[in-house]
Structure 1
């Protein structure tokens, strides 16, 4: 593991100490877990943005997809 120096406000430091006591872990572990969670959220947000970006890119002439979706899915899957 790498050692890093980070500065917190008094309020942040106290909140970290309380959270560490509550969880029964070190302050460093609370910080590591928070960083991991933030990085995962960033990855999930990026995936979500990519998924939303494709909405509307593909056009189809079918206007009854909401009603006939089973039929549309059945044809390619049974061939």
Structure 2
């Protein structure tokens, strides 16, 4: 493990200490568990975004036959602020 240093507010450390005491684990263990939970939630969010994007593939038709070749041009035309 790598040692690190963090700063918590008085309320945060009070609550972390209380949770550690209640669960009979160290403060470091409470923080490690919280980090794991945040990372897992982030991974799930990334997977959800990817699945959502992939779910849109093929659902819309522009009527254009050259989008695969000229996609950059079409994007420039639509998003160029000029």
Which structure 2 residue ranges, 5 or more long, are not aligned? 60-82
Partner deviation per Cα, 1:7-51 (whole Å, 9 max, x = no partner): 000000000001101111000000001001100110011000000
TM-score, structure 1 normalization: 0.70
- Aligned residues, how many? 59
Please state how far the C-alpha of 1:54 moved relative to its aligned partner.
1.6
Which structure 1 residue ranges, 5 or more long, are not aligned? 60-79
The match for 1:39 is 39
The match for 2:29 is 29
Quote the RMSD (CA, aligned, Å): 0.9
Please state how far the C-alpha of 1:58 moved relative to its aligned partner.
2.3
Please state how far the C-alpha of 1:55 moved relative to its aligned partner.
2.1
- Which runs of structure 2 are paired with 1:1-79 in the superposition (5 Å)? 1-59=1-59
